[in-house]
Amino acid sequence: MAAVFQKQVARYGDRACVGYKKDGRYQDISWSGMDEMVRAIGSFLISRGIEPGRNVALFSQNRWEWWVVDLAILSIGAVNVPIYATNSSEEAQYVLEHSGSRICFVGTQEHMEKVVKVRDRLPELDAVVVLDEVPEKPEGVIGFAEALEEGRRQDNREEFDRRLKAIRPQDLASIIYTSGTTGPPKGVMLSHGNFVSNVHQILDDFSHLLGDEDIYLSFLPLSHSLERTAGYYLAVGIGATVYFAEDFSKIQENLAEVRPTIIVSVPRLYEKIHAGILSKLGEASPVKRGLFGWAIGVARDNLSYVCEDKERAGWFKCRHAMADKLIFSKLKAALGMDRLKFAVSGGGPLSVSDAEFFLGMGITVLEGFGLTETTPVTNVNRPGMIKPGTVGPPVKDTEIKIADDGEILIRGPQVMLGYYKNEEATREVLTEDGFFCTGDLGRVDEDQCLMITGRKKEIIVTAGGKNIAPQNLENALKGSRFVEQVSVIGDRRKFLSALIVPNFEELTKWADKVGVSYRSREELVKDEKVQHLFEKVIDKYMRPFARAEQIRKFCLLPDEWTQQTGELTPTLKCKRRVIEEKYCDEIECMYPQ
């Protein structure tokens, strides 16, 4: 990808490559401007003794400097070891220690302090480079501006170019540590060939829709392989311009400012937008609610036209044009999605109701599938062939096989080299004939579209011997505007139960409306009317499921699950073991002896 970047620098020069928010407005950096800094940081790394194959860590939130550092590391044949920006000192220490990283670039003063705190336990770490300007730098910490200046003074241009030309597809490019839902993180080794091939695989199906006029908004963590490949390397490959969101809390504001043509996101964004629209609708006048209800009916009828790319005709064409003029176009403009060609959803299951809500309005959300170990894209829905509830057919040169026990096996040029310093774990997931065992369960339909039915390790086996995938039940429950987070319990037990974190914004509105008095969230979740409300929610959303899959009891929790409190990974997946340990008393109360 470093060579692809150089090719685009020669092609686009002074055109905008990236943009970032400064003093209340977005400012651009050209391809040439980025290249000058990439070469300076590459020269700095060479002068600091970073040889090809050596590991360099990058502990930062999304920002244009992330690109500069990554491209510099890759260009000189070194290996980028990204660390999630939300990780703690101890989590960062594990990655730095396990990878033996020689230099660590950090984003903010907080990131710097997290590394400095554990530095005495990291004998291989030679230097820390902080991207932000900080008032005081501890010994051994240098600023990004200083690193740039040092690199320019050293001027290792010839060595930089020599190393770039020497890189081979099979060479290691990055070690991405998994989120660790079930144990210590594993370092996934991805080669230059893995990344480049995955970009080519995406372009094989999407090149006619993508071009150098496209505008991306970057907000998923660059330390996650989905954003790295689909939101960064793909954008470089097509010569698009990428603008960086300030942070996830300002996504709505930044979407309206940037008005991107492409976004890559996890389901959380679509869930939040959908819930937000429905919440505002509840406060609207009866006339507006009626009009929106009519438009949603049109959107429902529009699904087949969007999913199969069919031309509308007759009376429906008129109805749709009116709904678009009165509702859909205004909604898209308010969301900053009026120029959107399509949006990608990955990193977790997107509920059918969320997918159909956006598709019906003409916002093309394409759900895909992949893992860090597959760089990540293996499957994706395509415009003109969208099947909500599936993750689409495989991308080019990718084989999908379903094992006898239902596990999804994948073979293709995007499959990782293996796990860093962990041959045993590598042998467990890579078959002799090159298939990667995903740990996910699924099936393939008549159109070769893959449906994910659960995680192998998360399958609940009830006391009655029934095998149940909790993910399906949880996704169904999250269709309710009152449910924020949920974890289904029931392994080796007589029936299923659920720990539920309510959507407190919606719940408090409802409580105030029906006259529930409370002084705290703890009081609110225990209220009899609230309990009865959630009984009705569970009854409604569990109707499609079999008797053994019904949730018989539930416990409402007053606190949201976060990475900081330990229940979520950096990619917002639930750590089931942690949740079950933390709430063991609440769980046992649902299963009296």
In a domain, residue 233? The reply is no
Q: What value does the mean pLDDT take over residues 388-406?
A: 96
pTM, full prediction: 0.87
Quote the longest CA-to-CA distance of the chain.
74
381 & 503 share domain: no
Residue 261 domain-assigned? no
Give the three-class secondary structure for 321: helix
Listed in sequence order, the residues at least 6 apart from 165 whose beta carbon sits closer than 8 Å to its beta carbon are none
Claim to verify: residue 463 and residue 360 sit in the same structural domain: no
Closest C-alpha among 180, 152, 147, 173 to residue 232: 173
**Angle subtended by helix axes 352-360 and 286-307, to nearest 10:** 90
Residue 466: pLDDT above 60?
yes
Asked whether the predicted pLDDT for residue 282 surpasses 80, the reply is no
- 28 DSSP β-pair partners: 19
- Are 33 and 23 in contact by the 8 Å Cβ rule? The answer is no
Residue 388: pLDDT band (50, 70, 90) is very high
Q: Alpha-carbon dihedral of residues 526, 530, 531, 533, nearest 10 degrees?
A: -170
Q: Cα separation of 29 and 21, whole Å?
A: 11
Query: Quick one: pLDDT at residue 56?
Result: 98
pLDDT at 441: 92
Give the H or E element holding residue 22.
strand 16-22
Inter-CA distances, 86 with 39, 223, 567, Å: 28, 11, 13
Angle (CA) 367 369 370, round 5°: 150
pLDDT for residue 459: 84
Which stretches does DSSP call E strand in 445-495? 450-455, 460-461, 467-468, 483-489
Summarised one tens digit per residue, pLDDT across range 12-42 is 999 999 999 999 999 999 999 999 999 999 9
Are 56 and 98 in a shared domain?
yes
Residue 482 has pLDDT above 80, yes or no: yes
Q: Where are the alpha helices (DSSP H) in 329-421?
A: 329-335, 352-360
DSSP summary character for residue 232: I
Q: Are residues 448 and 470 in the same domain?
A: no
Q: Say whether both 108 and 138 belong to one domain.
A: yes
Question: Are residues 496 and 405 both part of a single domain?
Answer: no
Q: What is 167-210 written as a DSSP string?
A: --TTSEEEEEE---SSSS--EEEEEHHHHHHHHHHHHHHHTTT-
Residue 10 has pLDDT above 60, yes or no: yes
Instruction: Give yes or no for residue 182 having a pLDDT over 60.
Output: no
In which residue are the tokens 């499959």 written?
415
- Considering the domain architecture, whether residues 443 and 516 belong to the same structural domain is answered as no
Rounded average pLDDT over 190-205: 98
The CB-side HSE value for 3 (13 A sphere, CA atoms) comes to 15
Within-domain flag for 313:
yes
Does residue 592 contact residue 585 with C-beta atoms inside 8 Å?
no
Whether residue 138 is found in the same domain as residue 69: yes
- Find the CATH number of the domain harbouring 93: 3.40.50.980
* CB contact set of 474 (below 8 Å; sequence gap of 6+): 486, 487, 488
Q: Which residues of 207-220 are buried (b: 16+ CB within 10 A; e: fewer)?
A: eebbeeebbbbbbb
**Confidence (pLDDT) at 463:** 82
Q: Is the pLDDT of residue 310 over 90?
A: yes
Given this model, what pLDDT does residue 398 score?
Answer: 98
Indicate whether 161 and 13 sit together in one domain.
yes
User: What mean pLDDT comes out for the span 373-388?
Assistant: 96
Of 167, 195, 229, the last residue of a domain is 167
Domain harbouring 518, CATH code: 3.30.300.30
Sheet holding 399-402, edge to edge: 399-402, 407-411, 436-444, 450-455
pLDDT for residue 258 is more than 60:
yes
Q: What is the pLDDT of residues 140-164, one digit of tens each?
A: 999 999 999 999 999 899 999 999 9
**Per-residue model confidence as pLDDT tens digits over 552-571:** 999 999 999 998 898 988 77
Given a cut of 70, whether residue 183 has pLDDT beyond it is no
Do 498 and 400 share a structural domain?
A: no
Give the domain extent around 348: 267-454
Q: Determine the pLDDT at residue 180.
A: 59
Domain count, the chain: 3
pLDDT at 280: 84
**Amino acid letter, residue 75:** S
Chain mean position to CA 165? 32
Could you give the 3-state DSSP secondary structure of residue 381? coil
**196 within a domain of the structure (yes/no):** no
Count of helix runs (H) and strand runs (E) in the chain? 23, 25
Q: Is the pLDDT of residue 99 over 90?
A: yes
- The answer to whether position 215 is within a domain reads no
**Residue 181 in this model has a pLDDT that exceeds 60:** no
Residue 237 lies in a domain: no
Taking only the tens place, the pLDDT of each residue in 34-77 is 999 999 999 999 999 999 999 999 999 999 999 999 999 999 99
What is the reported pLDDT for 281? 84
Domain end residue (candidates: 167, 198, 214): 167
| Burial class, 459, CB count within 10 angstroms (exposed 0-12 / middle 13-18 / buried 19+) | middle
Domain boundary pick from 167, 199, 216: 167
Q: What is the pLDDT of residue 295?
A: 95
**If we measure between CA atoms, which residue out of 215, 238, 486, 224 comes closest to residue 341?**
215
The reported pLDDT for the residue numbered 248 is 82
In a domain, 104, yes or no: yes
pLDDT grade for 349, boundaries at 50, 70 and 90: confident
Q: Are 141 and 28 in the same domain?
A: yes
173: in domain: no
Same domain, 444 and 491: no
Structure-model confidence comparison of residues 577 and 535, the more confident one: 535
Mean predicted lDDT score pLDDT of the chain: 94
Give me the pLDDT at residue 283, please: 81
